[in-house]
Amino acid sequence: MCEHDEQKGAALWFTGLPCSGKSAIADRLAAILKDKGYRVERLDGDIVRQDLTRDLGFSKEDRDENIRRVTFVTKLLARNGVFVLTSFISPYREMRDRARSQVENFMEIFIKTSLETCMERDVKGMYKKAMAGQIKEFTGVSDPYEEPLKPELVVETDNETLEASTEKVLRRMAELGYL
């Protein structure tokens, strides 16, 4: 039994460039919320692509389908009183807006990080491969990233620690009445 039986479900939609810090913040937030007794699920791009969407590539159509499927799962979990922390590049505004329209209590969190910082953090060398033309349709290099116009929160991981970024999300969740 959850100690927060009155918990209102919500989607915390982390969006930003590859290596911007989406997963790090979502993982830290999930640990804090679970420690406080909240029901939490994590949906992460790399993990979801292993099972739910492994049939998809990285064309615009496939990216849209990936987000469509994730939105469906997010909607089911959130309406059943779970905090769903999604960390997907989700580069296109149209699909993020679609997710917002389908999921009650939707909180878009833009992880605003410079391309240079993302490239420095890239331990897999994806940016370097994309710059060399070895990876096609790579967000931020050969494929666009459409920044959110009115996110509920902007987190600038260039200028703040993981703890400070996570604390900003917790404060905003409280302001919106989720905590």
Residues with a known catalytic role:
90
Long-range contacts (CB closer than 8 Å, 24 or more residues apart) made by 145-148: 145/16, 145/17, 145/89, 145/91, 146/91, 146/92, 146/93, 147/110, 147/112, 148/15, 148/93, 148/96, 148/108, 148/110
In sequence order, which residues have a C-beta less than 8 Å from that of residue 42 and are 6 or more positions away? 26, 27, 30, 85, 86, 87
In the block, residue with structure tokens 């969740």? 173
Check: CB of residue 143 under 8 Å from CB of residue 83: no
